[in-house]
Chain A
Amino acid sequence: MVVGSIAAIGAGLAAIGAGVGIGKIGGSALESVARQPEAASKIQTMMLIAAAFVEAVALFAVVVSFLGTGKP
Protein backbone atom coordinates (compact mmCIF):
# COMPACT_ATOMS: atom_id res chain seq x y z
CA MET A 1 0.00 0.00 0.00
CA VAL A 2 2.81 2.40 0.91
CA VAL A 3 4.58 1.62 -2.37
CA GLY A 4 1.38 2.42 -4.25
CA SER A 5 0.99 5.77 -2.47
CA ILE A 6 4.56 6.81 -3.21
CA ALA A 7 4.06 5.85 -6.86
CA ALA A 8 0.92 8.00 -6.89
CA ILE A 9 2.88 10.99 -5.53
CA GLY A 10 5.46 10.44 -8.25
CA ALA A 11 2.73 10.32 -10.89
CA GLY A 12 1.34 13.57 -9.49
CA LEU A 13 4.76 15.27 -9.73
CA ALA A 14 5.09 14.12 -13.34
CA ALA A 15 1.61 15.47 -14.02
CA ILE A 16 2.70 18.89 -12.72
CA GLY A 17 5.63 18.87 -15.13
CA ALA A 18 3.45 17.79 -18.03
CA GLY A 19 0.85 20.41 -17.13
CA VAL A 20 3.45 23.19 -17.24
CA GLY A 21 4.78 21.85 -20.53
CA ILE A 22 1.42 21.53 -22.26
CA GLY A 23 0.38 24.94 -20.92
CA LYS A 24 3.45 26.53 -22.45
CA ILE A 25 2.91 24.74 -25.76
CA GLY A 26 -0.74 25.78 -25.89
CA GLY A 27 0.06 29.37 -24.92
CA SER A 28 2.76 29.80 -27.54
CA ALA A 29 0.60 28.14 -30.20
CA LEU A 30 -2.20 30.58 -29.40
CA GLU A 31 0.18 33.53 -29.63
CA SER A 32 1.57 32.44 -32.96
CA VAL A 33 -1.91 31.82 -34.37
CA ALA A 34 -2.90 35.33 -33.25
CA ARG A 35 0.11 36.74 -35.09
CA GLN A 36 -0.31 34.62 -38.19
CA PRO A 37 -3.88 33.31 -38.48
CA GLU A 38 -3.27 31.87 -41.97
CA ALA A 39 -0.75 29.36 -40.53
CA ALA A 40 -3.25 28.09 -37.97
CA SER A 41 -3.60 24.52 -39.30
CA LYS A 42 0.17 23.95 -39.51
CA ILE A 43 0.69 25.36 -36.03
CA GLN A 44 -2.10 23.20 -34.68
CA THR A 45 -0.49 20.03 -36.07
CA MET A 46 2.88 20.90 -34.60
CA MET A 47 1.25 21.83 -31.30
CA LEU A 48 -0.44 18.43 -31.08
CA ILE A 49 2.80 16.58 -31.84
CA ALA A 50 4.73 18.55 -29.21
CA ALA A 51 1.92 18.09 -26.70
CA ALA A 52 1.96 14.33 -27.37
CA PHE A 53 5.68 14.18 -26.58
CA VAL A 54 5.16 16.05 -23.30
CA GLU A 55 2.11 14.02 -22.42
CA ALA A 56 4.02 10.79 -22.97
CA VAL A 57 6.24 11.68 -19.99
CA ALA A 58 3.21 11.97 -17.71
CA LEU A 59 1.86 8.71 -19.06
CA PHE A 60 5.16 6.94 -18.41
CA ALA A 61 4.64 8.02 -14.82
CA VAL A 62 1.14 6.54 -14.88
CA VAL A 63 2.55 3.24 -16.12
CA VAL A 64 5.23 3.29 -13.44
CA SER A 65 2.60 3.89 -10.78
CA PHE A 66 0.67 0.88 -12.12
CA LEU A 67 3.81 -1.15 -11.66
CA GLY A 68 4.03 0.35 -8.16
CA THR A 69 0.68 -1.13 -7.21
CA GLY A 70 1.98 -4.52 -8.24
CA LYS A 71 -0.85 -5.08 -10.75
CA PRO A 72 -0.08 -3.90 -14.28
Chain B
Amino acid sequence: MHFSHIFKSKKNLQSTFLALFLAFFSLNVSAHPKPDAPASAENHGTVASEGTKTEEFDITAFILHHIADSHGFHLWGEGDNSVAVSLPVILWIDNGLVTFMSSAFHHDDEGKHVVEKNGQRFVNYHEKIYIASVTPNEHGEYMSLDADHKASNVLPLDFSITKNVFTLIFSAIILIIVFVGVANSYAKRKGKSPKGFQSLIEPVILFIRDDIAIPNLGAKYEGYMPYLLTVFFFIWFNNILGMVPFFPGGANLTGNINLTLVLSVITFLITNVKANGHYWKHIFWMPGVPVPMKIFLAPLELMGVFTKPIALMIRLFANITAGHILVLALLCLIFVFKSIFIAPVSIVFVVFISMIELLVGFIQAFIFTVLTALFIGLAVQEHGEH
Protein backbone atom coordinates (compact mmCIF):
# COMPACT_ATOMS: atom_id res chain seq x y z
CA MET B 1 0.00 0.00 0.00
CA HIS B 2 1.20 3.45 -0.88
CA PHE B 3 1.35 6.22 1.65
CA SER B 4 2.87 8.80 -0.67
CA HIS B 5 -0.49 10.49 -1.21
CA ILE B 6 -0.40 11.58 2.43
CA PHE B 7 2.69 13.63 1.76
CA LYS B 8 1.42 15.08 -1.51
CA SER B 9 -1.31 17.26 -0.10
CA LYS B 10 0.10 20.20 1.79
CA LYS B 11 -2.64 20.25 4.38
CA ASN B 12 -2.15 16.59 5.13
CA LEU B 13 1.61 17.02 5.23
CA GLN B 14 1.37 19.57 7.98
CA SER B 15 -0.98 17.49 10.08
CA THR B 16 1.15 14.39 9.51
CA PHE B 17 4.21 16.26 10.76
CA LEU B 18 2.32 17.44 13.79
CA ALA B 19 0.91 14.00 14.50
CA LEU B 20 4.30 12.30 14.20
CA PHE B 21 5.78 14.98 16.33
CA LEU B 22 3.26 14.79 19.11
CA ALA B 23 3.37 11.00 19.06
CA PHE B 24 6.92 11.10 20.38
CA PHE B 25 6.33 13.49 23.23
CA SER B 26 3.73 12.49 25.72
CA LEU B 27 2.35 14.80 28.33
CA ASN B 28 3.19 13.19 31.62
CA VAL B 29 0.92 13.96 34.50
CA SER B 30 2.08 12.37 37.70
CA ALA B 31 -0.74 10.41 39.19
CA HIS B 32 1.29 8.60 41.78
CA PRO B 33 -0.47 7.96 45.05
CA LYS B 34 0.95 10.09 47.78
CA PRO B 35 3.35 8.32 50.10
CA ASP B 36 1.94 7.63 53.56
CA ALA B 37 1.24 10.77 55.52
CA PRO B 38 3.74 10.56 58.41
CA ALA B 39 6.66 10.01 56.08
CA SER B 40 5.63 12.91 53.91
CA ALA B 41 5.15 15.21 56.91
CA GLU B 42 8.52 14.25 58.28
CA ASN B 43 10.08 14.81 54.91
CA HIS B 44 8.44 18.18 54.64
CA GLY B 45 9.70 19.06 58.10
CA THR B 46 13.30 18.36 57.25
CA VAL B 47 13.04 20.30 54.01
CA ALA B 48 11.57 23.30 55.82
CA SER B 49 14.21 23.25 58.56
CA GLU B 50 16.92 22.99 55.93
CA GLY B 51 15.36 25.93 54.14
CA THR B 52 15.38 28.19 57.19
CA LYS B 53 18.83 27.09 58.20
CA THR B 54 20.46 28.10 54.96
CA GLU B 55 19.02 30.71 52.62
CA GLU B 56 15.29 31.19 52.31
CA PHE B 57 15.18 31.64 48.56
CA ASP B 58 18.28 31.21 46.46
CA ILE B 59 17.60 33.61 43.60
CA THR B 60 20.86 32.85 41.75
CA ALA B 61 20.28 29.11 41.77
CA PHE B 62 16.65 29.61 40.73
CA ILE B 63 17.53 31.80 37.76
CA LEU B 64 20.46 29.70 36.60
CA HIS B 65 18.28 26.59 36.82
CA HIS B 66 15.67 28.24 34.61
CA ILE B 67 18.01 29.43 31.88
CA ALA B 68 19.85 26.12 31.71
CA ASP B 69 18.94 23.16 29.53
CA SER B 70 16.86 20.38 31.05
CA HIS B 71 15.35 16.96 30.40
CA GLY B 72 11.68 17.90 30.01
CA PHE B 73 9.48 20.97 29.99
CA HIS B 74 8.35 21.74 33.50
CA LEU B 75 4.83 23.18 33.37
CA TRP B 76 3.67 23.73 36.94
CA GLY B 77 3.69 22.21 40.42
CA GLU B 78 6.53 21.15 42.65
CA GLY B 79 8.15 17.87 43.57
CA ASP B 80 5.90 14.87 43.01
CA ASN B 81 2.92 17.04 42.05
CA SER B 82 4.65 18.69 39.13
CA VAL B 83 3.28 18.41 35.63
CA ALA B 84 5.86 18.26 32.91
CA VAL B 85 6.23 17.32 29.27
CA SER B 86 8.72 14.52 29.36
CA LEU B 87 11.28 14.07 26.63
CA PRO B 88 13.29 11.02 25.58
CA VAL B 89 16.61 10.34 27.25
CA ILE B 90 19.11 8.66 24.92
CA LEU B 91 22.37 7.48 26.43
CA TRP B 92 25.33 5.62 25.02
CA ILE B 93 27.10 3.40 27.52
CA ASP B 94 29.73 0.71 27.09
CA ASN B 95 27.24 -2.05 26.32
CA GLY B 96 25.04 -0.12 23.93
CA LEU B 97 22.25 2.38 23.62
CA VAL B 98 19.84 3.06 26.48
CA THR B 99 16.62 4.98 26.00
CA PHE B 100 13.82 5.91 28.36
CA MET B 101 11.51 8.85 28.94
CA SER B 102 12.65 11.53 31.35
CA SER B 103 9.44 10.95 33.35
CA ALA B 104 11.19 7.86 34.75
CA PHE B 105 13.08 10.21 37.08
CA HIS B 106 9.81 11.47 38.60
CA HIS B 107 10.92 15.12 38.23
CA ASP B 108 13.94 14.52 40.44
CA ASP B 109 17.13 16.36 39.55
CA GLU B 110 18.98 15.92 42.82
CA GLY B 111 20.21 12.40 42.18
CA LYS B 112 17.74 10.81 44.61
CA HIS B 113 15.69 8.72 42.18
CA VAL B 114 17.50 5.86 40.49
CA VAL B 115 16.33 4.52 37.14
CA GLU B 116 17.36 0.98 36.28
CA LYS B 117 17.62 0.11 32.61
CA ASN B 118 19.66 -2.52 30.74
CA GLY B 119 21.36 -3.50 33.98
CA GLN B 120 22.62 0.03 34.56
CA ARG B 121 21.45 2.51 37.16
CA PHE B 122 21.11 6.19 36.28
CA VAL B 123 20.45 9.33 38.27
CA ASN B 124 19.61 12.84 37.15
CA TYR B 125 21.84 15.21 39.07
CA HIS B 126 21.32 18.90 38.21
CA GLU B 127 19.98 17.94 34.75
CA LYS B 128 23.03 15.83 33.95
CA ILE B 129 22.59 12.09 33.81
CA TYR B 130 25.21 10.05 35.66
CA ILE B 131 25.62 6.38 36.39
CA ALA B 132 24.39 6.01 39.95
CA SER B 133 26.59 5.11 42.87
CA VAL B 134 25.77 1.84 44.63
CA THR B 135 24.85 3.48 47.93
CA PRO B 136 23.44 6.94 48.60
CA ASN B 137 25.57 9.56 50.35
CA GLU B 138 24.49 11.35 53.54
CA HIS B 139 22.06 13.62 51.63
CA GLY B 140 20.27 10.65 50.03
CA GLU B 141 21.88 11.34 46.64
CA TYR B 142 23.17 8.34 44.71
CA MET B 143 26.27 10.34 43.87
CA SER B 144 29.84 10.37 45.03
CA LEU B 145 30.85 13.97 45.49
CA ASP B 146 34.25 15.19 46.54
CA ALA B 147 34.98 18.12 48.86
CA ASP B 148 34.27 20.70 46.11
CA HIS B 149 30.89 19.10 45.26
CA LYS B 150 32.30 17.81 41.98
CA ALA B 151 30.76 14.53 40.92
CA SER B 152 33.13 11.64 40.33
CA ASN B 153 30.42 9.37 38.86
CA VAL B 154 30.73 8.11 35.30
CA LEU B 155 29.07 10.43 32.78
CA PRO B 156 27.60 8.44 29.85
CA LEU B 157 27.50 9.97 26.38
CA ASP B 158 24.21 11.88 26.37
CA PHE B 159 22.31 12.24 23.07
CA SER B 160 19.01 13.04 24.77
CA ILE B 161 16.29 15.14 23.21
CA THR B 162 16.53 17.86 25.84
CA LYS B 163 14.45 21.02 26.03
CA ASN B 164 16.84 22.86 23.73
CA VAL B 165 17.10 20.01 21.23
CA PHE B 166 13.32 19.74 21.17
CA THR B 167 12.96 23.48 20.55
CA LEU B 168 15.63 23.30 17.84
CA ILE B 169 13.75 20.52 16.00
CA PHE B 170 10.39 22.19 16.60
CA SER B 171 11.52 25.57 15.23
CA ALA B 172 13.28 23.92 12.30
CA ILE B 173 10.08 22.08 11.33
CA ILE B 174 7.96 25.23 11.68
CA LEU B 175 10.42 27.24 9.59
CA ILE B 176 10.65 24.53 6.91
CA ILE B 177 6.84 24.32 6.64
CA VAL B 178 6.46 28.11 6.46
CA PHE B 179 9.26 28.73 4.00
CA VAL B 180 8.61 25.79 1.70
CA GLY B 181 5.05 27.13 1.46
CA VAL B 182 6.25 30.66 0.75
CA ALA B 183 8.80 29.47 -1.80
CA ASN B 184 6.14 27.41 -3.57
CA SER B 185 3.81 30.37 -3.79
CA TYR B 186 6.65 32.45 -5.26
CA ALA B 187 7.20 29.80 -7.90
CA LYS B 188 3.47 29.55 -8.62
CA ARG B 189 2.73 33.27 -8.71
CA LYS B 190 5.81 34.47 -10.54
CA GLY B 191 5.55 38.18 -11.38
CA LYS B 192 2.25 38.58 -9.57
CA SER B 193 1.55 40.33 -6.31
CA PRO B 194 2.18 38.27 -3.15
CA LYS B 195 -0.71 36.52 -1.50
CA GLY B 196 -1.52 35.20 1.97
CA PHE B 197 1.43 34.39 4.20
CA GLN B 198 3.77 35.39 1.41
CA SER B 199 2.80 39.05 1.80
CA LEU B 200 3.63 38.88 5.51
CA ILE B 201 7.13 37.51 4.87
CA GLU B 202 7.98 39.46 1.73
CA PRO B 203 8.80 42.83 3.39
CA VAL B 204 11.24 41.08 5.74
CA ILE B 205 12.93 39.22 2.89
CA LEU B 206 13.19 42.46 0.91
CA PHE B 207 14.56 44.22 3.98
CA ILE B 208 17.31 41.62 4.29
CA ARG B 209 18.09 41.82 0.59
CA ASP B 210 18.07 45.62 0.24
CA ASP B 211 19.39 46.71 3.63
CA ILE B 212 21.73 43.87 4.54
CA ALA B 213 22.90 41.83 1.56
CA ILE B 214 23.27 44.37 -1.25
CA PRO B 215 25.06 47.16 0.71
CA ASN B 216 27.56 44.70 2.24
CA LEU B 217 28.06 42.10 -0.46
CA GLY B 218 27.60 44.13 -3.64
CA ALA B 219 26.74 42.41 -6.88
CA LYS B 220 27.54 38.90 -5.65
CA TYR B 221 24.85 38.98 -2.98
CA GLU B 222 22.60 36.27 -4.46
CA GLY B 223 24.72 33.30 -3.48
CA TYR B 224 24.70 34.32 0.16
CA MET B 225 20.99 35.16 0.45
CA PRO B 226 19.94 31.60 1.50
CA TYR B 227 22.37 31.61 4.42
CA LEU B 228 21.52 35.15 5.51
CA LEU B 229 17.78 34.48 5.37
CA THR B 230 18.13 31.18 7.23
CA VAL B 231 20.23 32.70 9.97
CA PHE B 232 17.97 35.73 10.32
CA PHE B 233 14.68 33.85 10.54
CA PHE B 234 16.10 31.07 12.70
CA ILE B 235 17.50 33.49 15.29
CA TRP B 236 14.47 35.76 15.20
CA PHE B 237 11.97 32.93 15.55
CA ASN B 238 13.88 31.32 18.40
CA ASN B 239 14.40 34.62 20.21
CA ILE B 240 10.66 35.15 20.21
CA LEU B 241 9.88 31.52 20.99
CA GLY B 242 12.19 31.81 23.99
CA MET B 243 10.07 34.67 25.33
CA VAL B 244 6.89 32.54 25.22
CA PRO B 245 6.57 31.36 28.80
CA PHE B 246 4.61 28.13 28.20
CA PHE B 247 5.12 24.76 26.57
CA PRO B 248 6.55 24.95 23.06
CA GLY B 249 8.53 28.04 24.03
CA GLY B 250 10.46 28.90 27.12
CA ALA B 251 13.71 27.19 26.20
CA ASN B 252 16.68 29.50 26.22
CA LEU B 253 17.88 28.23 22.84
CA THR B 254 19.55 31.29 21.30
CA GLY B 255 20.93 32.02 24.78
CA ASN B 256 22.77 28.71 24.71
CA ILE B 257 26.43 29.16 23.88
CA ASN B 258 26.66 25.85 22.02
CA LEU B 259 24.05 26.96 19.49
CA THR B 260 25.61 30.39 18.95
CA LEU B 261 28.99 28.67 18.65
CA VAL B 262 27.70 26.52 15.78
CA LEU B 263 26.18 29.54 14.02
CA SER B 264 29.37 31.57 14.31
CA VAL B 265 31.52 28.62 13.19
CA ILE B 266 29.39 28.39 10.02
CA THR B 267 29.92 32.12 9.45
CA PHE B 268 33.65 31.66 10.10
CA LEU B 269 33.87 28.81 7.58
CA ILE B 270 31.94 30.68 4.87
CA THR B 271 34.06 33.80 5.41
CA ASN B 272 37.38 32.00 5.21
CA VAL B 273 36.54 29.50 2.49
CA LYS B 274 35.16 32.23 0.24
CA ALA B 275 37.94 34.72 1.03
CA ASN B 276 40.06 35.82 -1.92
CA GLY B 277 43.80 36.46 -2.10
CA HIS B 278 43.25 40.15 -1.61
CA TYR B 279 41.76 39.50 1.84
CA TRP B 280 44.61 37.25 2.93
CA LYS B 281 47.13 39.76 1.62
CA HIS B 282 45.55 42.42 3.81
CA ILE B 283 45.95 40.10 6.78
CA PHE B 284 49.51 38.83 6.34
CA TRP B 285 51.22 41.60 4.36
CA MET B 286 49.21 44.80 4.69
CA PRO B 287 49.88 46.91 1.59
CA GLY B 288 50.82 50.57 1.97
CA VAL B 289 52.58 50.43 5.35
CA PRO B 290 56.32 50.14 6.16
CA VAL B 291 57.85 46.66 6.56
CA PRO B 292 58.30 46.70 10.39
CA MET B 293 54.67 47.75 10.68
CA LYS B 294 53.66 44.90 8.35
CA ILE B 295 55.38 42.39 10.64
CA PHE B 296 53.72 43.97 13.65
CA LEU B 297 50.25 44.02 12.06
CA ALA B 298 50.20 40.43 10.75
CA PRO B 299 49.61 38.69 14.12
CA LEU B 300 47.03 41.30 15.11
CA GLU B 301 45.11 40.86 11.87
CA LEU B 302 45.36 37.08 12.16
CA MET B 303 43.86 37.32 15.64
CA GLY B 304 41.06 39.43 14.18
CA VAL B 305 40.08 36.51 11.94
CA PHE B 306 39.19 34.53 15.06
CA THR B 307 37.92 37.25 17.38
CA LYS B 308 35.24 38.39 14.93
CA PRO B 309 33.25 35.12 15.05
CA ILE B 310 33.93 34.78 18.80
CA ALA B 311 32.43 38.22 19.39
CA LEU B 312 29.48 37.19 17.21
CA MET B 313 28.97 34.10 19.36
CA ILE B 314 29.17 35.87 22.71
CA ARG B 315 27.02 38.83 21.62
CA LEU B 316 23.98 36.71 20.79
CA PHE B 317 24.44 34.37 23.75
CA ALA B 318 24.91 37.12 26.31
CA ASN B 319 22.12 39.35 24.98
CA ILE B 320 19.45 36.67 25.07
CA THR B 321 20.64 35.15 28.34
CA ALA B 322 20.73 38.62 29.94
CA GLY B 323 17.15 39.21 28.78
CA HIS B 324 15.93 35.96 30.32
CA ILE B 325 17.79 36.68 33.56
CA LEU B 326 16.27 40.15 33.73
CA VAL B 327 12.71 38.84 33.37
CA LEU B 328 13.30 36.10 35.96
CA ALA B 329 15.01 38.48 38.38
CA LEU B 330 12.09 40.91 38.22
CA LEU B 331 9.66 38.04 38.87
CA CYS B 332 11.82 36.91 41.79
CA LEU B 333 11.35 40.30 43.49
CA ILE B 334 7.99 39.00 44.72
CA PHE B 335 9.66 36.08 46.50
CA VAL B 336 12.58 38.15 47.75
CA PHE B 337 10.34 40.73 49.41
CA LYS B 338 7.73 38.07 50.31
CA SER B 339 4.90 40.50 49.74
CA ILE B 340 1.89 40.34 47.45
CA PHE B 341 2.04 44.14 47.11
CA ILE B 342 5.29 43.91 45.17
CA ALA B 343 3.55 41.72 42.57
CA PRO B 344 1.85 44.49 40.52
CA VAL B 345 5.09 46.47 40.29
CA SER B 346 7.02 43.36 39.34
CA ILE B 347 4.46 42.28 36.73
CA VAL B 348 4.42 45.75 35.13
CA PHE B 349 8.20 45.70 34.91
CA VAL B 350 8.18 42.17 33.47
CA VAL B 351 5.69 43.17 30.77
CA PHE B 352 7.80 46.23 29.96
CA ILE B 353 11.03 44.23 29.76
CA SER B 354 9.30 41.56 27.68
CA MET B 355 8.25 44.21 25.17
CA ILE B 356 11.86 45.42 25.04
CA GLU B 357 13.00 41.82 24.60
CA LEU B 358 10.76 41.45 21.55
CA LEU B 359 12.64 44.42 20.07
CA VAL B 360 15.99 43.01 21.20
CA GLY B 361 15.09 39.65 19.64
CA PHE B 362 14.67 41.34 16.29
CA ILE B 363 17.72 43.59 16.67
CA GLN B 364 19.99 40.70 17.63
CA ALA B 365 18.85 38.61 14.67
CA PHE B 366 19.44 41.68 12.48
CA ILE B 367 22.88 42.37 13.98
CA PHE B 368 24.00 38.76 13.56
CA THR B 369 22.91 38.81 9.92
CA VAL B 370 24.44 42.23 9.20
CA LEU B 371 27.77 41.29 10.75
CA THR B 372 27.80 37.96 8.90
CA ALA B 373 27.16 39.83 5.64
CA LEU B 374 29.81 42.41 6.58
CA PHE B 375 32.48 39.78 7.32
CA ILE B 376 31.71 37.86 4.14
CA GLY B 377 31.68 41.14 2.21
CA LEU B 378 35.13 42.07 3.56
CA ALA B 379 36.47 38.67 2.55
CA VAL B 380 35.08 38.54 -0.98
CA GLN B 381 35.38 42.14 -2.15
CA GLU B 382 37.58 42.76 -5.18
CA HIS B 383 40.65 44.97 -5.21
CA GLY B 384 39.95 48.69 -5.57
CA GLU B 385 36.38 48.54 -4.31
CA HIS B 386 37.22 50.28 -1.06
Contact = CB atoms under 8 A, between A and B. Distances in A.
Contacts of A49: 367, 370-371, 374
A8 to B, nearest CB: 11
Contacts, number: 38
A59 B315 contact: yes
A45 interface: yes
A59 B211 contact: no
Interface residues of B, number: 18
Given A71-B60, A71-B64, A60 B367 contact: no
B97 interface: no
- Interface on chain B toward A: helix, strand, loop, or mixed SS? helix
Contacts of B371: 49, 52
A63 interface: yes
Nearest to B212: A45
Contacts of B374: 49
A48 interface: yes
Interface string A30-65: 000000000001000100110010011001101100
Given A45-B211, A71-B64, A56 B314 contact: yes
Interface of B: 60, 64, 211, 215, 311, 314-315, 317-319, 321-322, 363, 366-367, 370-371, 374
Interface of A: 41, 45, 48-49, 52, 55-56, 59-60, 62-63, 69, 71
- In order of increasing CB-CB distance, the 9 nearest A-B pairs are A59-B318, A52-B367, A56-B315, A62-B318, A63-B318, A71-B64, A56-B311, A62-B322, A49-B370
Given A49-B370, A71-B64, 14 more contacts: A41-B211, A45-B211, A49-B367, A49-B374, A55-B315, A55-B319, A56-B311, A56-B315, A59-B314, A60-B318, A62-B318, A62-B321, A62-B322, A63-B314
